[in-house]
Structure 1
Amino acid sequence: MEELKAAAAAAQVRVAAAFDASVRAAHARAGIPEGQQGRGVAAQIALARRESPARGGRILGFSKALAHEMPCTLRALSEGRLNEWRATLLVRETACLSVSDRRLVDREVAGDPAGLEGLGDGRLIGRIRKLTYRIDQEALVRRAAKAEADRYVSCRPAPDTMTYLTGLLPVAQGVAVFAALSREADSLRARGDERGRGQIMADTMVERITGLAQADRVPLEVQLVMTDRTLLAGSNEPAYLSGYGVVPAKWARDAVRNAGSRSGGGEMTEKERPHKAGHDEPATRRRSSAAPDLWLRRLYTAPTSGELIGLDSKARFVPESLARFISARDQTCRTPWCNAPIRHRDHIRPHRTGGSTHAGNLQGLCVACNQAKEAPGWRTEKTEKPGRHTVVITTPTGHTYQSTAPPLPGARAF
C-alpha cells in the first residue's frame, strides 16, 4: 500500500506538470503576456487536492521540478523506493542549484535504487548537502541569502486559548532576541520577581514590541463575537475571537469583564444614532484615562440561519465598517481549504460588470486567492438559497466548489 501511495503521488506529479504546460500553451495562443501565463494553475491544483492555495503552489513547483529536471527521483517515486516526503526533500535541498547541477545530484542520489534503502530523512539530507557543497561552493551562500529573504512572523492558535507567535529570523538576530529576553528574566528573578523565567520572557517580549509598561494592557480593538445569551445569561455557547478561532464561553465573558475592570470603571455610554452605510456600527464604549478604551461592537445574526445581517454601500471601495463586518462573517479566506487571513474584500460579481458593494456581494479573500480568480475562465457567483452566505466557484476546467460562511456563535445547524 505504501508503494501504491508513492506511485499515485508520481502520477499526480506528471498530471500537474502536464496541466501546467497545457494551460500555459492555451494562454500563449490567447495572447496573454508571458509573465501572466499559467496564472491560476496552482489554485486549481489546490482545490482539486483539497489543499490551501499556498500548498497548491508548492505542489506545482515540486511537480515541475520532478517532471522536467529530476527524472531519477521521479522514477524512484513511481517505483515506491521513495515516498512523497523524501522526494520533496530532494527537490527542496537542490533548489539552489542550476538545472545541470541539480540533475547531477538527482542521478547520484536517486539513480542508485539500492542506495536509497534504509535511508532516513537526516541521512538523505546529509548526502544531498555533501554533494551540493562539493559541486557548487556558492550554493550555500545563495541558499542562506534566500532563507534570510524569507524571514517572517506568524500567529497560530494554540490549545487552551493561547497562541504561537513565531518569528523566523536570521540566526544572529534570533539569538540576540533570545539572549536579551533571557538577560531581562534573569535580572528580574534576581530582584525577587515571582514569575517564572518563561513568563517573564513572554511578558517582556509583549511589552517591548507594543511599547507598553504592562503586557496585559495591550490597546487593541478585539473582535469577540458571542451571543447575548453567552454574555448576559451564562450560556455555554462558545464565542469566536477574530484571528484565533473558537473560544470557551467563560473565557469570552472573563475577557470582557477583565478588560472592563482594567479600564478603571468609567461610565458606560451608548451611541444611539441610526446606522448609515459607511459609518461605524452602534458600539458601546467604556471610557477611561487610566487604560486603553474598550469597545464592544454589536453584530446581529438572523435567528434561523445565523447569517450576519448586512449593510449596503454604493461605493466602489469597501468602507471600513463594512470591511470589519465581512471579516467577522467570513473569519478567514473563503476559498475552500484556505485558512489564510483575509486581506481583500472582493466583489463576487465584479464592480465593473454592475456588482454592488454590499455584504451579500462581498467575500473575504487572501491576496493569492483574489489574484487567482482574476485569471481567464474563473467564475464566482452567490447562491440565492436561504441560509449562511454561500458562493459557488467554477474553475476554467469546469469543476465547481462551494464556499459557505462558517457558523457564528448561536447559529442553528442549517
Structure 2
Amino acid sequence: MEVVLGVAAVLEAEPQGLLAAVPPHSACAVPAATDELRFPAAAPSIADVLALLRSVPLASNGAGMIEQMRELEDLKCAAGARQADTAVAFDCQQRREQAAAGVPAAEQGAGVAAQIALARGESPARGSRLLGLAKTLTGMPHTFAAFRSGLLNEWRVTLVVRETICLTPEDRAGVDEELGADTGALDGRGDKAIVAAVRAAAYRRDPASVAKRAARAATERSVSLRPAPDTMTYLTALLPVAQGVAAYTALTKDADTARAAGDERSRGQVMADTLVERVTGTPGGISGVQIQLVMTDRTLLQADAEPARLPGYGTIPAAAARDIALSPAATGTTEDPADIAGRHDLELWVRRLYTAPVAGELVAMDSKARFFPAGLKRFLRVRDITCRTPYCDAPIRHHDHITAWHDGGPTSARNGQGLCEACNHTKEIPGWTAKAVAGPRHTVATCTPTGHTYHSTAPPLPGTTFTATLTPMEGTAVVPFLSQSANYPAGSRRPPVPQRRR
C-alpha cells in the first residue's frame, strides 16, 4: 500500500469549486455564448461532421501523418470549445424553463450539471466542474479564443481558470487580457510554466484573494482511496503543508529506527506498515474491520482462477483473494517470519451469497420497513459496489428507493439501489424519474428532464459470464458499465446510446 500526502489544492479535490465560484446567471448574460448556436436551417449536424471526419483518408507519409495529428488536436479543441458553448446555452435554457415552472430562483439550475455529465459520459462531480469551466470562460475571451483555435487544450484552459477562480470577474478578465493566450504568448509552455505565469498574474491583481484561497484550502483536507496496479492501492491524504510534512517525518523516523535495529524490511515497507498500524490501531493492520471480500466458493476452496471483488477497490486476482482470506497474518511484503512477528491473526467469517443461475444476480431480500434494514443495506452494497448512476464511481452513501416509498415503492432489493449523496439529491429534482426495468441483472432506467434515458445494470458477481441482452421494455441493448460486452471491444466503456423518451 502506498500513501501519498498531498499538500497542494488541486482541481480534483475541489469538485464544486469552479461551479460555486461563478454567479448562477453570469454566463446567461453573455449573448455571444448563445448567439453562435443559432444555426441556419440548412446547417450541418454534428453527425454530418463526424461522417466527414471518418471519410478523411490517413496520410501516406510521416510528415502528413504529423500534420494530421496536429490538425486533429485543433479539432478536439474546437469540439471542446463548442461543448462549452453548448453547456452554457443549455444551462440558460434550463433555467428559463425552471423559472417558467415556478421553481424558486435559488433552486434554478439544479440538475443541469448532472445532465451534462451523463451526455458527456462523465461523473456528476466532473460534470459540475465542466459546467463551471464553461461559464467562467465566457468572462475570459482571450483564453476561450485560445481554446477554440487549439493554442490551449482543455486541460490547460482548466489550469488557467483554476488559478484565477478566486479573483473577481473584473480581475479575472484583467489576468486574461494580460496573459493574451490567444496571441500565442503561452504557446510551447508546459503545465507548470502556465500555472506559474497565471498564478503570478493573479497575485499581482489581488494578493489578498490568493491568500484567502490558501487559507480556505485547509478546510478541504480529505482522505481518498483509489486502485493501483498489481492489487495495490493509493491511500491519499490532502493535508495542510505543516501536517503533511509532520506526518511524513514521523514515519521516516520510525522507519530509520526500525532499520537501525535490524529490521530487514525496506524503508518504504516499514513506513507503509507503520502507517496502517497507527491508523487502524492494530498490529497487522486490518483486524476488526470488515473488508467484505466477495469470491466464489470455487476460488476459495478449489483454487479456481475466477477473480474476486473487493469493495472500495475492484477486481483482484484469485490468488491474491485467497492470500487475504486464508493467510490473514501476512502483510504481503515478504515471506520472512520477521515480517509478521508480533502481528495478530484476523478473524475469518464466511457469509454465503446466493445468486440466480446464468445472470448471477443476488437473490432478493424484502422488508416492510420504510428504512432499509442493516442486512438489506449490506446486500445493496455488495450488489452495486459504487453509486449506480452511470459513470459515477463515488462510494455508496445512501440506500435509495428507486420508486419512492411515499409513492408506494416497497423496501426491497429490486426497488433499492446504492447512490452517492449528490446523485440521490439529483434524483429528487422535478423532471427526473427512475424505475427498475428488465435486464440481465438488476437494471435501473433513469430519465432526465430532456427525455433522455440512461441504463445502469448491476455489475456481475465473480463467476458470472455475461453478454449484452435486450431490454424488453425499451428494446435497447443494456450493457453494464465498466464491463465488457459482446457489442464493444475489451476495455471499452461506451454505454448504449441514450434513447429519447416518447
Q: Same fold (TM over 0.5)?
A: yes
Shift of 1:217: 4.8
2:168 equivalent to 1:98: yes
Q: What letter matches 2:299 in structure 1?
A: T
Query: Are the aligned partners of 1:382 and 1:391 in contact in 2 as well (CA < 8 Å)?
Result: yes
Structure 1 pair 311/109, CA: closer, same or farther in 2 (3 Å)?
same
- CA deviation after TM superposition for structure 1 residue 137, in Å: 1.5
Match for residue 419 of structure 2 among 353, 358, 365: 365
Q: What is the identity, as a one-letter code, of the residue corresponding to 1:335?
A: T
User: Does the CA-based 8 Å contact 1:72-1:111 persist in structure 2?
Assistant: yes
- 1:275-329 per-position Cα deviation (integer Å, ceiling 9, x unaligned): xxxxxxxxxxxxxxx7553321111111211000011001111111100100100
- Which amino acid counterpart does residue 138 of structure 1 have in structure 2? A
* Mapping of residues 395-410 of structure 1, within 5 Å: 395-410=448-463
1:307 aligns with 2:376: no
Aligned to 1:141: 211
Counterpart secondary structure, 1:337: coil
- Contact persistence 1:326–1:345 (CA under 8 A): yes
After TM superposition, give the deviation of residue 29 of structure 1 in Å. Answer: 2.2
Distance 2:97 2:111 in 1: 13
CA contact (8 A) 1:333 1:340 kept: yes
Give the conservation status (yes or no) of the 8 Å contact 1:221–1:294: no
Match of 1:54 among 120, 125, 144: 125
Q: 1:324 matched to which residue of 2?
A: 378
Secondary structure in structure 2 of the residue aligned to 1:246: strand
**RMSD over aligned Cα atoms:** 1.7
Structure 1 stretches lacking a partner, 5+ long: 263-289
Counterpart CA distance in 2 for 1:193 and 1:119 is 46
Give aligned-pair identity as a percent: 56
> Distance between the aligned counterparts of 1:114 and 1:32, measured in 2?
44
> 2:290 corresponds to which residue?
221
Would the aligned equivalents of 1:260 and 1:294 in 2 still touch at CA under 8 Å?
no
Q: Which residue of 2 aligns with 1:180?
A: 250
Distance in 2, matches of 1:156 and 1:81, equals 33
For 2:238, the equivalent position in structure 1 comes to 168
In the alignment, which residue of structure 1 is the partner of 2:265? 195
Listed one character per residue, the Cα deviations across residues 134-188 of structure 1 (whole Å, up to 9, x for unaligned) are 1112122112022212211001111121111110100000000000111111111
User: 1:136 & 1:162 partners in 2: Cα distance?
Assistant: 43
Q: Is the 8 A contact 2:151 2:181 kept in 1?
A: no
Q: Does residue 120 of structure 1 match 2:190?
A: yes
SS of equivalent residue, structure 1 residue 360: coil
Residues 242 and 111 (structure 1 numbering): CA distance in 2 closer, same or farther, change over 3 Å?
closer
Aligned pairs, number: 384
Distance 2:249 2:135 in 1: 42
Partner Cα distance (1:133, 1:238) in 2 = 52
Deviation at 1:216, TM superposition (A): 4.1
Which of these residues, 306, 329, 338, is aligned with residue 237 of structure 1?
306
The verdict on how the C-alpha distance between 1:331 and 1:71 changes in structure 2, with shifts beyond 3 A counting, is same
- The alignment partner of 1:295 has SS state of coil
Following superposition of structure 1 onto structure 2, how do residues 64-79 of structure 1 map, counting pairs within 5 Å?
A: 64-67=135-138, 69-79=139-149
3-state SS in 2 of match to 1:252: helix
State the shift of 1:118 in Å: 2.1
Q: How far is the alpha carbon of 1:225 from its aligned partner?
A: 1.2
Deviates more, 1:53-62 or 1:128-137: 128-137
Indicate how the Cα distance of structure 1 residues 305 and 111 shifts in structure 2: closer, same or farther if over 3 A, else same. closer
Q: Secondary structure at the match of 1:115?
A: coil
1:350-406 CA-to-partner distances (Å, cap 9, x unmatched) read 111000000000111111111111111111111134x21111111100111110000
Q: State TM-score, norm by structure 1.
A: 0.89
Measure, in 1, the Cα distance between the counterparts of 2:403 and 2:89: 31
Counterpart check, 1:379 vs 2:448: no
**Letter of the aligned partner of 1:411 in structure 2?**
T
How many angstroms apart in 2 are the aligned matches of 1:127 and 1:211?
Answer: 45
Residue number in structure 2 paired with 1:268: none
Are 2:387 and 2:395, in contact at CA under 8 Å, matched by a contact in 1? Answer: yes
Please state how far the C-alpha of 1:198 moved relative to its aligned partner: 0.8
After superposition, residues 220-299 of structure 1 pair within 5 angstroms as 220-259=289-328, 293-299=347-353
Amino acid at match of 1:252: A
Q: Alpha-carbon deviation of 1:79?
A: 2.0
